[in-house]
Amino acid sequence: MLTGKSFIGNSRGTGTAVSGSAINPANGEKLSPETIAATDAEVRYALELADSAFHAYRKKSGSEKAVFLRTIAANIEALIDDIAARGPLETGLPEARMRGESGRTMGQLRLFADLVEEGSWVDARIETADADRAPIPKVDLRSMLTGLGPVGVFCASNFPLAYSVAGGDTASALAAGCPVVVVAHSSHPGLAEIVAGAIQSAAQETGMPEGVFSLLFGGGRTIGKSVVTAPEIKAIGFTGSYAGGRALMDLAAARPEPIPVYAEMSAINPVAIFPSALKNDSESLATAASGSLTMGVGQFCTNPGVFFIPATGEGAEQFTETFTKLTSEVAGATMLNAGICSAYANATTSIQAQPNVETLLDVTTDDFGVGAPSIFRTTATEFINNAALTEEMFGPATLLVTYQNTEELLALAESIDGQLTTSIHAQPEDDISDIVEIFDRKSGRVIFNQFPTGVEVCSSMVHGGPFPSTSDGRSTSVGTMAIFRYTRAVSYQNFPQQNLPVELQDANPLNIKRMLDDKPE
C-alpha cells in the first residue's frame, strides 16, 4: 500500500504538503497516491542521520556490507510483482522491462556485495620500515581506500530501477561505506517507494546504523538543492539532462566545501561507418543500427544519435534505404514522461529548421505521449560548422552525416565533444588507428563492429566519458570501478598492528590481494 511518504532513516515522513503525483505518460492521468514533500526538518534530520551513520557504517566489514546489499536485492526480488505492476503505469515502459531492469538492479547489488566481500578492491598497500636506510630510516606506511562520506543520489527518469533508488550509484556508494540520501524522481514515486521500503527493511534486518539510507520526496529542485548544499554530503551521483547536471555542478562548486559531482548528462554516441563495412554487408549493418536506435524508444544514454557514413560507394545508398525503411516500421511508443516527450518533439522539429538538413523519416504522431522514430541527414561540412546539429535528441532520432573521404571522417571525429561511447564499423584489413586515437581521447568506451546500446555491468566497463557526456570523465557510473568514485585513500604510519584496519594487518586475515613493498603479496 503506497503512501507517498519519505523514508527518513528508520521512520517515514510525517509531512502533509502534497508535492504532486505520478502521471501515467500513456494517458496523462494522475496516479495515486499523492506524494508528500519531506518537511525541512525531515530533510535536515535525514542528512544528520547520514552523517552520524557514516562513522559506524564506514567501519563495517566487507562481509557485513555484502549481507546488507544482498538483503536489499532479496527484498526487491520479493516485491518484483509490485514493481512490475506499478512501473508500467508510471513510466510507460513494458512490464518485461520492469522485470528485466529489476534483475539488473539486483545483479548490481550482488556484484558489489561480491566485490566488497572479497575485499581486494581497497587497494591495500604495505611498505614496511627499514631502520637502517640512509640517510634517514624508512617508516612503516600502509594505505587503503575508505568511504568518502554521505552521498546524495538523484534518481534517473530513464532507469527507474537500475539508476534510481537502489541503482548503480546507491549500490556503489553503500559498497564503498557511504550512507546514501536519495532524492526521488517525480516521474516514478511509486517505484521509489517500493524500492526504498526494500532498502529500509534491509538496513534494519541487517543491523545497519540508522540513516545509512533515506529517500526524500518533494519538489525536486528545493529538496535537491538542500541535499547538494548540505555540509554532511560529500559527493553527488546524478543521471539526467545537461542543464540539471550543470546546475548541480555549479551548486557543488560554490559550497564553502566544494564536493565532487558525478553527473551523467548527454551524449550523441557517434557511430563511424567505414566504406568497407557497407561494402561487406550493408543490410545487416542497417538492421542492427535500426535496432540500436529504436530499442526502448531510444531512451538510453548510449543511443546512437549520429552516424558518420560514406556519401557514396558500394552499399551506401542501400544502407540508408534499409535503415530508413526498417526504422519506419518501428511503431512509436509511450515515452517516459510528458517533459521528455515534448522535448523530443521539439528537438526533431528544431533540427528540421537547420539549413541543409534533410528529413528522411519523421513519423510525427498525435498519439498522446508517444515518440516515434526520426532520421535526418546532413553533410560533414554542415555538421562540423553548426553546433546545433550536435545537440542530443533524447529519443529514437538520429542524424546521418555523410563524409566524402577519410580526411572528412577524421575531421568529423575530431569535431565531437566528449561522449559516453564512440563506435567504429570497419573490416579487419582497415587501418583504424587514426580514428581510434581520436575516439579514445573523446569517449569512455570505444566499440568495434557493435552498437553502443547494451551496457554490460562488469569490471572493465567505463560508462562515463569526457565532459559534457559526464561532469567528470575520471569516473564510471556502471560496473565495479564505480566504487572508486566514492572513496579516498588513507595512509597509516607506524601503526600498531591491532589499530590497523584488518586489510592492512600483517596477518592479512581476509586473505585479500595486496601490494607488499611494491610487489604483489
Q: What are phi and psi of 49, to 5 degrees?
A: -65, -40
476 lies in the binding site for its own copies (CB under 8 A):
yes
Stretch of 28-36, 296-304, 366-374, 481-489 lying at the interface with its own copies (CB under 8 A): 481-489
Q: What's the burial of 256, exposed, middle or buried (CB within 10 Å: 0-12/13-18/19+)?
A: exposed
In sequence order, which ranges of 58-79 are alpha helices (DSSP H)?
62-78
Q: In the complex, what is the shortest distance from the CB of residue 444 to its own copies, in angstroms, rounded to a whole number? A: 6
Phi, psi of 255 (to 5 degrees): -60, 155
What residue has cell string 542543464? 243
CA pseudo-torsion sign 473, 477, 480, 486: positive
**Amino acid found at 105:** T
What's the CA gap between 503 and 214, in Å, rounded?
A: 29
* 301 belongs to the catalytic site: yes
- In eight-state DSSP terms, residue 130 is B
Q: Which of 14, 358, 488, 506 binds its own copies (CB under 8 A)?
A: 488
Backbone φ and ψ of 121, nearest 5°? -60, -20
489 binds its own copies (CB under 8 A): yes
Site for its own copies in 59-98 (CB under 8 A): 59
419-425/271-273 β-pairing: parallel
Dig out the grid coordinates for 176 from the structure.
Answer: 564503498
CA of 339: how far to CAs of 179, 186, 303, 344, 369, in Å? 31, 11, 19, 8, 9
Residue 217 Cβ, how far from its own copies at the closest point, in Å? 30
CA distance 60 to 200: 17
Nearer CB in complex with its own copies: 120/328: 120
Cell of 29: 492521468
With respect to its own copies, which residue has the nearer C-beta, 260 or 275?
260
Pick the closer one to its own copies by CB: 91 or 470: 470
Contact flag: residue 509 with its own copies (CB under 8 A): no
521 part of the interface to its own copies, by CB under 8 A: no
Residue 136 binds to its own copies (criterion: CB under 8 A): yes
Q: Rule CB under 8 A: choose which of 258, 349, 355, 405 binds its own copies.
A: 258
Q: Which of residues 420-459 bind its own copies (CB under 8 A)?
A: 428, 432-433, 436-437, 440-441, 443-450, 454, 456, 458-459
Q: Is 155 a catalytic residue?
A: no
368 binds its own copies (CB under 8 A): no
Query: What is the arrangement of strands in the sheet containing 261-264, beginning at the earlier edge strand?
Result: 11-12, 7-8, 213-216, 180-183, 151-154, 235-239, 261-264
x/- track of binding to its own copies for residues 114-133 (CB under 8 A): -----------xxx------
- List the catalytic residue out of 42, 90, 193, 301: 301
Minimum CB separation of residue 288 from its own copies in Å reads 13
Per the structure block, which three cell numbers stand in for 84?
512490475
Contact between 269 and its own copies per CB under 8 A: no
Pair type for strands 11-12 and 7-8: antiparallel
Q: State the residues that interact with its own copies by CB under 8 A.
A: 54-55, 58-59, 125-127, 136, 138-139, 141-143, 146, 148, 249-250, 253-254, 257-258, 260, 428, 432-433, 436-437, 440-441, 443-450, 454, 456, 458-462, 464, 466-468, 471-476, 481, 487-496, 499, 513, 515, 518, 520
Where in the sequence numbering do the catalytic residues fall?
Answer: 264, 301
